[in-house]
Structure 1
Amino acid sequence: MNTKHTIPSDEDLTAFIDGELTAEEAARIEAIVNEDQSTAERLEFLARASLPFEQAFAPLLSEAPREKLGTMLAAIPVQQSARSDPTPAFGSRRRFLGALAASLVAGIAIDRAVIGIGRSFSAKDENSEWRAVVADYISLYTPETLAGPVPERDVQAAQLGSLDEKLGLSLSPEAVSLPGIDFKRALMLQYDGKPLAQIAYLDPETGPMALCIVKSDAGRKAPDLESRKGLNVIYWSNETHAFMLIGHAAADRMTAIAEGVRGRVQA
C-alpha cells in the first residue's frame, strides 16, 4: 500500500457504511479501500453483518449502570467533523456500538455474536464460516460471563422451546445436558438472516462451553475436530442442521461429550 493515509478503524468503516461521514472523510476511506486489500475485506466484513443490535441488547442496556457509562463516554474525546446535525444517542450503529464497548469496560457480559463482528455465511464453505463466527465471540467468555445459578428445568425447557420454533428441532433439557457441566442459558441469535442457536454451559473444570446449531443443507458430515481461538471445536452435520461443541476442555473429553449430544439431538 502506497497511501499515506491512516488505516481507518472499525468505527470509521461503520460510519462510512452508514453514510455518516462528510464527503471528504468518505473520499479518504474510499481511497484507502481501493489501495489496501485488508481494509477492503474488513469493510465487506462489516457491511454484510445484518444483526438487530438494539433489539438484542435492549435488556442488557436497561440493566447497565447508566450514570457510570455516561461518565465514561463523556471522557472519551470526540473527533470533530463537519456534520450539520448531531446524531442522537443510539441513533446509529456507531454510537450504539460505542455504548456497548463502554458496557464491556464496566464489566457487563455481552454476546459478541450480536455485535456483528462475525463473517457472513459463505456458499463456498458455510460450516467453516459460521464456526469462525462462533469461536470469535465464545473466546471472549469467562466464568463470570456465565455466573449465576443453574436455571430450573422448566426455565430450560422454555428457553429451548423458543429455539425449536426457529430451527425445526425438538430440544429438551435432557437431550442437551452435558455430564458434570452446568446448563446456563439457551438463546437464539441471528446472523446474516439465519437463526443461530447457542446453548451455553459452565464447566467447573475448564470454564465456558457452548453447543451451537444452524440450519444447513451442506449434507451429512461425521464429527471432526479443529482448534479455533485457543478452543477445541467438535463439529458435525446431518441433512438439515450443522452443530458444533466448543470449549476449553481437552480434545478427547470434548469428543466424548459431543458424541453423547449427537446421539440425543436429532432433527
Structure 2
Amino acid sequence: MSTKHTIPSDEDLTAFIDGELTPEEAARIEAIVNEDESTAERLEFLARASLPFEQAFAPLLSEAPRQKLETMLAAIPAQPGAKSGSTPAFASRRRFLGALAASLVAGIAIDRAVIGIVRGFSAKDENSEWRAVVADYISLYTPETLAGPAPVREVQAAQLRPLDEKLGLSLSPEAVSLPGIDFKRALMLQYDGKPLAQIAYLDPETGPMALCIVKSDAGRKAPDLESRKGLNVIYWSNETHAFMLIGRIPVDRIKELGEDVRRRLSA
C-alpha cells in the first residue's frame, strides 16, 4: 500500500480535526475519508468523542452568520461520478465532516445550523453504534461458546430478573422464547455507561443468536433489517428501549422471529 493511501492513525485523524496538519497532509486525509467508509466513520467517532461542539462554539453563535456557513457548504464540490437519486448516509456524513474540518482549519465560526446537523448525526449514529458493538462480539461466538444443556424455566427466569431490574422491563422466559431455538443464557452487559441486556440462544442449524436490549430515548421505530459482520439483524425501538435480534439465520426467518418476539414484548 503506498504512503498516499495508507490508512491514517487515530493521532493523524485527531490532528486533522484539530487543524494541526500541513495543507498537504490534510488534503491526503480528506481524500482517504472521501474514499474509505471505515476511515470516515472513525473520523466521525473521534470528532464526536473529542469535541464538545455546543460548549466550544456557544460563545461564537451570535457572531456566526448563517449565510457564510451556507456559502461554505454550497462550495463543496459534488463527488465525481455520483449517481442521481438518494445519497447514501455515509456520503452525506463525509461531506459534512469535510466541511467541519475545513471550517476548523480556516477558523470559520460554526453557527446554530451546524450544531443542529451534529445533533442529528449523533442521534442517528448512537442509535446504530450499539448494534455495531453487539455485532462485533456476537460474530466471535461459535456453537461451542454456548454449548451445554438449555437451562430449565426457573433458571431462565432467575437470569432474566436482574435484566428486568436494570432496564425497567418485565421479561419472562415465554416472552423472549424463540420457537425451535434453545435459550442458553441471559447476561447484563454495559454499553456507553448504560445497561445492555443480552439473551443468547443456539439455533441447531445456524449457530448462536442473541436478543439485545438497551435503554434509548430515540423514540419509536418500526422493525428494520440490516447485515453486520456477516450476521442478519432485525432491530426496532419503542419510547424507552431499543431492541435487536442478531444471528446467522436467514433474513426471512430472523424477520419472522423478530416480529414475533416484538409482539410478545409489547403485550
Q: Quick one: percent identity of the two aligned structures?
A: 76
Match in the other structure for 2:129: 129
Residues 5-47 of structure 1: per-residue CA shift (max 9 Å, x gap): 9987xxxx8xxxxxxxxxxxxxxxx5785366859948x66xx
Q: TM-score, normalised by structure 2?
A: 0.57
In structure 1, C-alpha distance between the alignment counterparts of 2:255 and 2:245, rounded to whole Å: 9
| RMSD between aligned residues | 3.0
Letter in 2 for 1:197: A
Contact map agreement 2:130 2:191 (CA 8 A) in 1? no
Contact map agreement 1:236 1:243 (CA 8 A) in 2? yes
Question: What SS does the corresponding residue of 2:134 show, helix, strand or coil?
Answer: helix
Q: TM-score, normalised by structure 1?
A: 0.57
| Residues 1:250 and 2:260 aligned together | no
Residues 62-83 of structure 1: per-residue CA shift (max 9 Å, x gap): xxxxxxxxxxxxxxxxxxxxxx
Larger Rg: 2
Match in the other structure for 1:24: none
Letter in 2 for 1:261: V
- Show structure 2 runs of 5+ residues with no match: 16-20, 22-28, 34-38, 50-120
Letter in 2 for 1:238: N
Match in the other structure for 1:160: 160
Match in the other structure for 1:209: 209
Determine which structure has the larger helix proportion and give its number. 2
Match in the other structure for 2:259: 259
In structure 2, C-alpha distance between the alignment counterparts of 1:6 and 1:235, rounded to whole Å: 31
Letter in 2 for 1:266: S
**Of the two structures, which has the highest relative contact order with CA contacts closer than 8 Å and spacing of 6 or more?**
1
Question: What SS does the corresponding residue of 2:123 show, helix, strand or coil?
Answer: coil
Question: What SS does the corresponding residue of 1:149 show, helix, strand or coil?
Answer: coil
Residues 204-236 of structure 1: per-residue CA shift (max 9 Å, x gap): 011000000011111111111111111110011
- The number of residues matched between the two structures is 173
Distance 1:264 1:41, change over 3 A: same
Of 200-209 and 144-153, more deviation after overlay is shown by: 144-153
| Residues 1:147 and 2:184 aligned together | no
- Show structure 1 runs of 5+ residues with no match: 14-29, 49-120
Shift of 1:122: 4.2
Match in the other structure for 2:196: 196
Question: What SS does the corresponding residue of 1:223 show, helix, strand or coil?
Answer: strand
Distance 1:147 1:122, change over 3 A: farther
Residues 74-106 of structure 1: per-residue CA shift (max 9 Å, x gap): xxxxxxxxxxxxxxxxxxxxxxxxxxxxxxxxx
